Structure 1
Amino acid sequence: MENIVKVAVIGGGSWATAIVKILCENLDQVGWYMRNTNAIEHIKTEKHNPNYISSVEFNTDKLKLTSDINEAVQEADVLIFAIPSAFLEKELYKLNVPLNEKIIFSAIKGIVPETGLIVGEHFHNIYEIPFDHIGVITGPCHAEEVALERLSYLTIACRDSNLAKTVADAMSCEYIKTKVSDDIIGSEYAAVLKNIYAIAAGIAHGLGYGDNFQSVLMSCAIREMRRFIKRVHKIKRDVNNSAYLGDLLVTGYSVFSRNRMFGNMIGKGYTVKSAMLEMNMVAEGYYAAKSAHMIISKQDCKSKTPIINAVYNILYEGKDAKKTFKKLTDKLD
Structure 2
Amino acid sequence: MIKVAFVGGGSFGTALSMLLGKKGYKVELWDRDLEVIEEINTKRTNERYLKNIAIPENVLASNDMKSVIGGAEYIVLAVPSHVIRLIAKQIREFVKPGQIIVSIAKGIEETSLKRLSVVISEELSENDVVVLSGPSHAEEVATESPTTMVVTSTNMEAAQKVQDLFMSKHLRVYTNSDIIGVEIGGAVKNIIALAAGVSDGIGYGDNAKAALMTRGMHEIIRIGTKLGGHRTTFSGLTGMGDLIVTCTSMHSRNRRAGILIGKGYTTDEAIKEVGMVVEGITACKAFYTLKEKEGVDMPITDVLYRILFMGLNPKEAVNALMTRDKKDEIYID
Aligned pair partner of 2:104 in 104, 107, 129: 107
8 Å CA contact 2:41–2:60 kept in 1: the answer is no
Are the structure 2 counterparts of residues 265 and 242 from structure 1 closer, same or farther at C-alpha, using a change threshold of 3 Å? same
Q: Percent identity of the aligned residues?
A: 30
Q: Does 1:319 align with 2:316?
A: no
Instruction: Provide the residue aligned with 2:184 in structure 1.
Output: 189
Classify the secondary structure of the residue corresponding to 1:136.
strand
8 Å CA contact 1:33–1:65 kept in 2: the answer is yes
8 Å CA contact 1:196–1:285 kept in 2: the answer is yes
Q: Which moved more, 1:186-195 or 1:106-115?
A: 106-115
- CA shift, 1:126, in A, is 3.7
- CA shift, 1:98, in A, is 5.1
Are the structure 2 counterparts of residues 63 and 147 from structure 1 closer, same or farther at C-alpha, using a change threshold of 3 Å? closer
Classify the secondary structure of the residue corresponding to 2:91.
coil
Are the structure 2 counterparts of residues 244 and 318 from structure 1 closer, same or farther at C-alpha, using a change threshold of 3 Å? same
The one-letter amino acid of 1:63's match is: V
Normalising by structure 1, report the TM-score.
0.91
Aligned pair partner of 2:298 in 293, 297, 305: 305
Q: Does 1:13 align with 2:10?
A: yes
Are the structure 2 counterparts of residues 236 and 283 from structure 1 closer, same or farther at C-alpha, using a change threshold of 3 Å? closer
8 Å CA contact 1:25–1:173 kept in 2: the answer is no
The one-letter amino acid of 1:38's match is: E
Instruction: Provide the residue aligned with 2:35 in structure 1.
Output: 38
Are the structure 2 counterparts of residues 221 and 129 from structure 1 closer, same or farther at C-alpha, using a change threshold of 3 Å? farther
Superposed CA RMSD in Å reads: 1.9
Classify the secondary structure of the residue corresponding to 2:132.
strand
Aligned pair partner of 2:271 in 252, 276, 279: 276
- CA shift, 1:87, in A, is 2.8
Q: Which moved more, 1:121-130 or 1:164-173?
A: 121-130
Q: Does 1:125 align with 2:125?
A: no
- CA shift, 1:95, in A, is 3.5
Instruction: Provide the residue aligned with 2:75 in structure 1.
Output: 79
- CA shift, 1:93, in A, is 4.5
8 Å CA contact 1:70–1:94 kept in 2: the answer is no
Instruction: Provide the residue aligned with 1:142 in structure 2.
Output: 137
Classify the secondary structure of the residue corresponding to 2:28.
strand
Q: Does 1:207 align with 2:172?
A: no
Question: What do residues 191-216 of structure 1 show as CA deviations (whole Å, max 9, x unaligned)?
Answer: 11010000010011111211012111
Q: How far, CA to CA, are the matches of 1:317 and 1:42 in structure 2?
A: 41
Q: Which moved more, 1:201-210 or 1:70-79?
A: 70-79
Instruction: Provide the residue aligned with 2:21 in structure 1.
Output: 24
Instruction: Provide the residue aligned with 1:66 in structure 2.
Output: 62
8 Å CA contact 1:100–1:128 kept in 2: the answer is no
Q: How far, CA to CA, are the matches of 1:27 and 1:226 in structure 2?
A: 39
Classify the secondary structure of the residue corresponding to 1:112.
coil
Consecutive unaligned residues in structure 1, runs of 5 or more:
none
Are the structure 2 counterparts of residues 129 and 199 from structure 1 closer, same or farther at C-alpha, using a change threshold of 3 Å? farther
Aligned pair partner of 2:250 in 248, 255, 259: 255
Question: What do residues 86-135 of structure 1 show as CA deviations (whole Å, max 9, x unaligned)?
Answer: 233443453351547232111001223343322101012343256xx111
8 Å CA contact 2:284–2:301 kept in 1: the answer is yes
Q: How far, CA to CA, are the matches of 2:263 and 2:136 in structure 1?
A: 27
- CA shift, 1:237, in A, is 3.1
Classify the secondary structure of the residue corresponding to 1:117.
coil
Q: How far, CA to CA, are the matches of 1:45 and 1:82 in structure 2?
A: 22
Question: What do residues 230-263 of structure 1 show as CA deviations (whole Å, max 9, x unaligned)?
Answer: 0012446342112210001100111111000111
Q: How far, CA to CA, are the matches of 2:126 and 2:263 in structure 1?
A: 43
Question: What do residues 161-220 of structure 1 show as CA deviations (whole Å, max 9, x unaligned)?
Answer: 332222112212222111111112210111110100000100111112110121111111
Q: Which moved more, 1:177-186 or 1:89-98?
A: 89-98
Q: How far, CA to CA, are the matches of 1:213 and 1:116 in structure 2?
A: 30
Are the structure 2 counterparts of residues 226 and 267 from structure 1 closer, same or farther at C-alpha, using a change threshold of 3 Å? same
Q: Which moved more, 1:83-92 or 1:314-323?
A: 83-92
Instruction: Provide the residue aligned with 2:236 in structure 1.
Output: 241
Classify the secondary structure of the residue corresponding to 1:111.
coil
The one-letter amino acid of 1:149's match is: E
- CA shift, 1:289, in A, is 0.5
8 Å CA contact 1:74–1:97 kept in 2: the answer is no
The one-letter amino acid of 2:313's match is: D
8 Å CA contact 2:88–2:120 kept in 1: the answer is no
Task: Work out the number of aligned pairs and report it.
Answer: 325
